[in-house]
Structure 1
Amino acid sequence: MKNFTLLVALWACIACNASEKPSTTANTHEAFIRQYYAYFNQHDWGKMANMYTETADFKDPSLGKGIVKQTREQTIKKYSELSQAFPDLRDSITNIYPAGEKHIVVEFISRGTAPDKSTFELPICTIFTIEKGLISKDFTYYDNF
């Protein structure tokens, strides 16, 4: 009985400590997503697009309603056009929230200046689904009014 009680106490300590540490998957996903935003801020659209599956699902007000499938080439085109309109386009991460084994949620502020010198600052939230080391879904939410 004494050994059983000791075993249960030991198991409880291990379980409590394990739940307090972020999972390896969460750490890997966070590093992956931080690299994604580094490519974004460098305007390296090719490297950023290669972080997606060949065709990924997007929810983005700029693409219309519902889920839109986009290839890597379409992603490069979209962001190339965006950076032409806003040459100093930059995203600043405010929070990252791991959400299970396949998802990570990112809050960030997007900023830029148009050729007419007007500026914008837009809070955005994106839910990424990461499968087999690539982004398969990019669900982005912001106020586009």
Structure 2
Amino acid sequence: MKIKTLFVFALALSACGKPDDKREANARAVKSMFAAFNRHDWTAMAGHYADTAGFLDPSLGTTYVKMTHAETAAKYAAMQKMFPDIKDDVNAIHAGDSVVVVEFTSSGTPAGGEKWHLPICSVLTFNNEGKIVKDATYYDNKE
């Protein structure tokens, strides 16, 4: 009986630890992705996504768009050409087992223009391999 109780207790403890581990791993992946963004290392940033991921972003339209690593890196490289000093300051990360919500402020300066700051929220969905399969990003760049 004691062995059964010990086994059930150990099983319960291990089950409780897994979600936190997943949440922490997802939060670390998000921090790493934003660090790559701020280094303008678009290949490393794109590597945080699954081979093909769905993106919902006002700059792409109103429905999810599938993009490969190469297409993701190219999108952000083009953004860097428009705003050479582009960077994101993470304000909060809310990590779950498979979804992470990130609140951040993006900023940049266009050639010959004034620096802008834009509050953004992204909802990132992770697969079991720790890669982002969906990126739903929300912002309003209209004034």
TM-score scaled by length of structure 2: 0.84
Count how many residue pairs are aligned between Structure 1 and Structure 2. 129
- Among candidates 105, 108, 118, match of residue 114 of structure 2: 118
- 1:42 Cα deviation (Å)? 0.2
Aligned to 1:89: 86
Find the aligned partners of 2:43 and 2:137 in 1 and give their Cα distance.
Answer: 20
8 Å CA contact retained: 2:33, 2:48 = yes
Equivalent AA in structure 2 for residue 28 of structure 1: A
Aligned to 1:139: 136
Find the aligned partners of 2:21 and 2:136 in 1 and give their Cα distance.
Answer: 23
Aligned to 1:108: 104
Find the aligned partners of 2:90 and 2:126 in 1 and give their Cα distance.
Answer: 18
- 1:65 Cα deviation (Å)? 1.1
Q: Please say if 1:58 is aligned against 2:55.
A: yes
Unpaired runs of 5+ in structure 2? none
Percent of pairs with identical residues:
39
Larger Rg: 1
- Partner of 1:88: helix, strand, or coil? coil
Q: Please say if 1:43 is aligned against 2:7.
A: no
**Residues 69-102 of structure 1, C-alpha deviations (whole Å, 9 max, x = no match):** 1111111111011001101000000001013x21
- Among candidates 17, 21, 39, match of residue 24 of structure 1: 21
- 1:144 Cα deviation (Å)? 2.6
- 1:63 Cα deviation (Å)? 0.5
Equivalent AA in structure 2 for residue 24 of structure 1: D
- 1:117 Cα deviation (Å)? 3.0
- Among candidates 61, 69, 72, match of residue 69 of structure 2: 72
TM-score scaled by length of structure 1: 0.83
